[in-house]
């Protein structure tokens, strides 16, 4: 089998852009869940849910050219935009003068990354199409990051950094490393745009000059030095403001909404034929960006969530028939709830939006809670925020300033229903509810999330192996409309539209979710 050999199911494959196939890449082996037959039903429903409204690509395997067509399509989708696409006369400067022609030869070792070096998206060789996870064909590779030709002279650069959306542990670490690395490149004009995109239009908000001195210790606290916000000016107003300020390098830290904005800014700059590099840094505590192994902030969130879960456990355990309910973040997906439940080992029931459940009825959550109280005297439930979208809750149609649906509070709802249920049955239960969202989001990044950033300062020569530095490379190298992330443990560039096509979600057939079920011991609630 070569790298592109398909694992075919009924002649059709899921396209690599679906969240399902993304996760399928990470799950392998042949774990057999005892509740598998029931789960198959759930699985079908989930597959339908996961595919709703998404562009489905099908491949005609009877076409002898399917492979090259597929590869061409993939190449086109994952080609990373470059300034020279529209500015044909943009000239480059070599990063080092050590090489003839300004760029190292491929013939001998030189320590530089070649433009054609790639990271494989899929690293598992499936022996058969029926192997667990073998549901997509190999979607190919991404570009590796690294030192290369630069299209911006440091003295001509005015770089701006903006942080948008909700808080996420690690924002300050990233701001700090971008500033430090820009200074290492020799950039003198570095500014922060205050309070997200709003800072481009609000005349009361002055841009913040940034330097190593200013950012030296900011990683020691959570939040964002620059402030964050949702909503803000139109893309056209943002680009007008960038032109007025002379910003030609923009680093945008944010989630899927922010990246949609970054891509639109990049497109607008292209339309105006501006020599501007717009580079995203994925900030999503929810870990809901496609194709990336993990985004910063997520580890810290899982770790901090342990404290809330432990408190809920202690409260529940110390009360007569105590029930602790913890609601964890995740606007579109249950990653935090799943991993925190798994890591804590203290959760009896984990509810995530990707897996349907009934609250009431003989197989519902409430009946199981009663069983747990009878059997072991207490129980702890972890529920993902996104379940607030369920029909269970009254719809308000409210949206926040960015246009995100404002979710009902599923934690409060489950708490109330639990109280009602036990009151109705006459069975005593003491229900406690914890929502640690803002305590988690405001935390300083833990060692894992902050490591690569902090590492930079001490080990400058290892900079090329770190996330943030490479992301600065991307801008200097003339790429725009790109973002960076870890794919199969390597740092690579992605074209923005591919990673925000839809939110990444938990695969209910993945080993991780099955492990979570094994850890909680919960049945299917349907
Ligand atoms: N489709 C879009 N096009 C342009 N800007 C967007 C888009 N979606 C969101 N934004 C802007 O991105 C910023 C952050 O978006 P938001 O959804 O709140 O957070 P996040 O980036 O963390 O998902 C907001 O200022 C919002 O106005
Ligand atoms: O109260 P806020 O600021 O609207 O934030 C709530 C949202 O922020 C998050 O923690 C992160 O969301 P973003 O990635 O969009 O910033 C979500 O899990 C949650 O729904
Ligand atoms: Mg978002």
Q: Give dist(CA 21, CA 423) in Å, integer.
A: 44
The secondary element (H helix, E strand) that includes residue 432 is strand 430-434
Residue 458 predicted with pLDDT over 50: no
Kindly report the length of the chain. 526
Residue 93 predicted with pLDDT over 90: no
Output the CA torsion 214→219→220→226 (10° steps).
Answer: 60
Whole-prediction pTM:
0.85
**Long-range contacts for 212-220 (Cβ within 8 Å, ≥24 apart)?**
212/179, 212/180, 212/183, 214/179, 215/172, 215/175, 215/176, 215/179, 215/180, 216/176, 218/172, 218/175, 218/176, 219/172, 219/173, 219/176, 219/444, 219/445, 219/450, 219/453, 219/454, 220/444
Q: Is 282 in the pocket of ligand 2 (CB under 6 A)?
A: no
Mean pLDDT of 143-167: 82
Cα 197 from chain centroid (whole Å): 20
pLDDT confidence of residue 177: 87
pLDDT confidence of residue 21: 30
Which one, of 19, 519, 523, 453, lies nearest residue 219 by Cα? 453
DSSP string, 145-162: P----BSS-GGG-EEEEE
For CA atoms 182, 177, 259, 138, the dihedral sign is positive
Residue 45 predicted with pLDDT over 70: no
Q: Give dist(CA 257, CA 239) in Å, integer.
A: 17
For CA atoms 489, 494, 498, 503, the dihedral sign is positive
Q: In a mutational test of the pocket of ligand 2, which residue from 170, 198, 227, 286 has the highest number of ligand atoms less than 8 Å from its CB?
A: 286
Catalytic pick among 22, 173, 286, 435: 286
Q: Check if 286 is active-site.
A: yes
Q: Is 259 in the pocket of ligand 2 (CB under 6 A)?
A: no
193 against 475, higher pLDDT:
193
Retrieve residue 481's tokens. Answer: 């409309």
363-420, pLDDT tens digit by residue?
Answer: 999 999 999 999 999 999 999 998 877 766 766 778 999 999 888 889 999 999 999 9
Q: How far is the CA of 441 from the centre of ligand 3 (A)?
A: 14
Q: Is 404 in the pocket of ligand 1 (CB under 6 A)?
A: yes
Cβ contact 491:89 at 8 Å: no
Atom of ligand 2 nearest to the CA of 329: 18
Q: Indicate whether this complex's ipTM tops 0.95.
A: yes
Q: 130-134, 205-209, 505-509: which range is least confident on average?
A: 130-134
261 against 281, higher pLDDT:
261
At CA 339, angle to CA 338 and CA 343, rounded to 5?
125
Percent of the chain with pLDDT over 90: 52
Q: Residue 99 contacts by C-beta under 8 Å, 6 or more apart in sequence?
A: 105, 110
Q: In a mutational test of the pocket of ligand 1, which residue from 261, 441, 500 has the highest number of ligand atoms less than 8 Å from its CB?
A: 261
The secondary element (H helix, E strand) that includes residue 263 is helix 256-271
Cβ contact 181:462 at 8 Å: no
pLDDT confidence of residue 470: 52
Cβ contact 327:411 at 8 Å: yes
Q: Is 231 in the pocket of ligand 1 (CB under 6 A)?
A: yes
Q: Which residues surround ligand 3, an ion (CB under 5 A)?
A: 255-257
65-87, pLDDT tens digit by residue?
Answer: 887 888 788 888 888 888 888 88
Q: How far is the CA of 240 from the centre of ligand 1 (A)?
A: 18
270-314, pLDDT tens digit by residue?
Answer: 999 999 999 898 999 999 999 888 888 999 999 999 999 999 999
Retrieve residue 218's tokens. Answer: 């900011």
pLDDT confidence of residue 142: 60
Q: What is the DSSP letter of 377?
A: S
8 against 278, higher pLDDT:
278
Residue 217 predicted with pLDDT over 60: yes
Q: Give dist(CA 453, CA 169) in Å, integer.
A: 12
pLDDT bucket at 139, cuts 50 / 70 / 90: low
* Paired residues of 118 in beta bridges: 143
Question: How many other C-beta atoms are found inside a 10 Å radius of the C-beta of residue 115?
Answer: 14
Q: How far is the CA of 295 from the centre of ligand 3 (A)?
A: 13
pLDDT bucket at 25, cuts 50 / 70 / 90: very low
Residue 268 predicted with pLDDT over 50: yes
Residue 461 predicted with pLDDT over 90: no
Q: How far is the CA of 415 from the centre of ligand 3 (A)?
A: 26
Instruction: Kindly report the backbone phi and psi dihedral angles of residue 122, in degrees, each rounded to the nearest multiple of 5, phi listed first.
Output: -115, 125
Instruction: Kindly report the backbone phi and psi dihedral angles of residue 188, in degrees, each rounded to the nearest multiple of 5, phi listed first.
Output: -105, -30
Q: Residue 85 contacts by C-beta under 8 Å, 6 or more apart in sequence?
A: 270
């Amino acid at each position: 089998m070569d790298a592109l050999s398909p694992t075919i199911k009924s002649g059709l494959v899921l396209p690599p852009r679906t969240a399902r196939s993304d996760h399928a890449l990470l799950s392998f082996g042949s774990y057999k869940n005892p509740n598998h037959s029931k789960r198959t039903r759930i699985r079908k429903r989930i597959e339908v849910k996961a595919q709703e409204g998404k562009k489905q690509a099908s491949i005609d395997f009877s076409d002898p050219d399917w492979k090259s067509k597929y590869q061409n399509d993939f190449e086109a989708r994952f080609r990373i935009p470059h300034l020279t696409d529209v500015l044909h006369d943009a000239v480059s400067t070599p990063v080092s003068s050590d090489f003839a022609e300004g760029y190292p030869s491929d013939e001998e070792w030189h320590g530089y990354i070649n433009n054609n070096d790639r990271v494989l998206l899929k690293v598992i060789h499936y022996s058969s199409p029926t192997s667990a996870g073998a549901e997509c064909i190999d979607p190919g590779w991404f570009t590796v990051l690294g030192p290369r030709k630069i299209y911006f002279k440091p003295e001509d650069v005015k770089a701006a950094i903006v942080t948008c959306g909700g808080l996420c542990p690690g924002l300050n670490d990233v701001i700090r490393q971008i500033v430090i690395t820009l200074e290492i490149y020799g950039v003198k004009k570095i500014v922060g745009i205050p309070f997200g995109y709003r800072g481009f239009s609000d005349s009361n908000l002055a841009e913040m000059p940034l330097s190593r001195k200013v950012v030296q210790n900011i990683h020691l606290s959570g939040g964002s030095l620059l402030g964050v916000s949702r909503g803000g000016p139109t893309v056209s107003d943002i680009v007008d403001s960038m032109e007025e300020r002379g910003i030609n390098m923009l680093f945008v830290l944010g989630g899927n909404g922010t990246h949609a904005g970054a891509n639109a800014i990049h497109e607008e700059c292209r339309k105006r034929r501006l020599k501007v590099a717009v580079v995203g840094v994925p900030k999503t505590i929810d870990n809901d960006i496609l194709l990336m192994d993990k985004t910063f902030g997520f580890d810290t969130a899982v770790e901090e969530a342990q404290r809330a879960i432990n408190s809920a456990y202690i409260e529940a355990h110390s009360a007569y028939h105590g029930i602790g309910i913890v609601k964890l973040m995740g606007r579109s997906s249950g990653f935090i709830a799943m991993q925190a439940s798994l890591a804590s080992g203290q959760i009896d029931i984990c509810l995530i939006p990707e897996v349907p459940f009934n609250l009431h009825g003989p197989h519902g959550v409430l009946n199981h809670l009663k069983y747990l109280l009878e059997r072991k005297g207490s129980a702890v439930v972890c529920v993902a925020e996104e379940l607030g979208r369920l029909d269970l809750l009254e719809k308000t149609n409210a949206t926040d300033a960015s246009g995100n649906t404002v979710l009902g509070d599923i934690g409060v709802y489950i708490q109330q229903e639990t109280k009602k249920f036990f009151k109705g049955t006459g069975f005593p239960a003491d229900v406690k509810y914890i929502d640690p969202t803002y305590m988690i989001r405001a935390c300083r990044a833990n060692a894992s999330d902050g490591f690569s950033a902090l590492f930079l300062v001490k080990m400058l020569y290892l900079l090329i192996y770190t996330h943030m530095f490479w992301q600065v490379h991307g801008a200097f190298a003339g790429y725009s409309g790109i973002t960076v992330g870890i794919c199969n443990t390597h740092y690579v560039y992605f074209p923005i539209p591919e990673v925000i096509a839809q939110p990444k979600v938990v695969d209910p057939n993945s080993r991780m979710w099955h492990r979570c079920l094994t850890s909680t011991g919960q049945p299917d609630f349907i």
